[in-house]
Amino acid sequence: MSDETREPVKRLFFALGCAPEQRKAIARWRGELRLRSGRPVPAENFHLTLLFLGAVDVAQIAQICRAAAQVRTPGVALSVALDRLEVWRRAGALVLASEQPPPALLRLVYALEQAMLPFGLEEAPKEFRPHLTLMRDFREPVPESATPPEYVLRADRFTLFESHKGRYRALAEWPLVPA
């Protein structure tokens, strides 16, 4: 198929957003680490990815949204502790990770994975490891921190985001708590 006849695509992922005041606090904490390696993720892009979909035909987005709307949610807002600073060498990322992910978060991710299976978007889902990416192209050891990371990401909804030229745009969102 030639490029001219291919459907337009968008790079999509499901995530929990990060409140503006928390993004600022995390960015300030990251600044105190005095990092000399990698590229900082813009604070406005901080989020916790639930499921990366990759390149999706624009024509499929409405169906994906209908499937996401049917996902069984926890029925409560989620609180995810971001209490570990880790370097993911293969990905070249410095991340805030969760020592003990809440079971409700793991169930939500599994439900999303199951709901997206009919779309055949990702051959083999990777093991879910909740995290917030601080830096990309990071090739140093885990930096020392004067104050340990003690953030709790709270979310009452999950969102379908589009990634375009380094910026993330919310396309749709669904409550975790019934109205």
Q: What is the tens place of the pLDDT at every residue in 49-81?
A: 999 999 999 999 999 999 999 999 999 999 999
| pLDDT value of position 125 | 63
What is the chain's mean pLDDT, rounded?
Answer: 92
The single residue of 47, 51, 68, 158 carrying the catalytic annotation is 47
Q: Is it the case that residue 123 has pLDDT exceeding 70?
A: no
Stated pTM of the model: 0.91
Distance CA 40, CA 130 (A): 19
Can 164 be counted among the known catalytic residues?
A: no
Which residue is associated with the tokens 């639930």?
A: 50
In this structure, the number of other CB atoms found within 10 A of the CB of residue 121 comes to 18
pLDDT at 165: 87
Q: How far is Cα 58 from Cα 5, in angstroms, rounded to an integer?
A: 14
Reported as a single tens digit per residue, the pLDDT across 136-151 is 999 999 999 989 999 9
pLDDT of residue 150: 93
Contact yes or no for 173/160 (Cβ under 8 A): yes
**pLDDT, position 120:** 83
**Dihedral in degrees, nearest 10, Cα atoms 54, 45, 59, 64:** 80
